[in-house]
Amino acid sequence: MKCDVAIIGAGPSGLLLAHLLQQAGLEPVVLERRSMDYVLGRIRAGVLEKTTTELLERLGLDARMKAEGLIHDGFHLADGENLIRIDLAELTGSSVMVYGQSEVQQDLIDAIPQRGLNIVWEAEDVTLHNVDSDSPSVTYSSGGESHTLNPRFIAGCDGFHGPSRKAIPASAGTGHERVYPFGWLGILADVPPCDDELIYANHANGFALASMRSQTRSRYYIQAPLDTNLDDWSDDRIWDELAIRLGPDAGSKITRGPSIEKSIAPLRSFVFEPMKYGSLFLAGDAAHIVPPTGAKGLNLAASDVIYLSDALIAFFKSGDKDALDKYSARALARIWKSERFSWYLTSLMHQFPEHSSFEREMQRAELDYIANSRAARESIAENYIGLPL
So which residues are the catalytic ones? 72, 200, 292, 296, 384
Beta carbons within 10 angstroms of residue 133's beta carbon = 10
Cα–Cα distance for residue pair 252/23, rounded to 1 Å = 49
Cα–Cα distance for residue pair 217/189, rounded to 1 Å = 6
Cα–Cα distance for residue pair 131/285, rounded to 1 Å = 19
Q: Is the peptide bond before 113 cis (omega within 30 degrees of 0)?
A: no
Beta carbons within 10 angstroms of residue 327's beta carbon = 22
DSSP string, 230-297: GGG--HHHHHHHHHHHT-HHHHTTPPP--EEEEEEEEEEEEEEE-SEETTEEE-GGGTEE--GGGS-H
Cβ–Cβ < 8 Å for 112, 119: yes
Give the contacts of 226 (CB within 8 A, at least 6 positions apart). Answer: 181, 182, 183, 264, 266
Give the contacts of 232 (CB within 8 A, at least 6 positions apart). Answer: none
Burial of 146 (0-12, 13-18, 19+ CB in 10 A): exposed
H/E element holding 137? strand 137-142
Report the side by side order of strands in the sheet with 47-48: 47-48, 96-98, 70-72
H/E element holding 78? strand 74-78
Cβ–Cβ < 8 Å for 70, 46: no
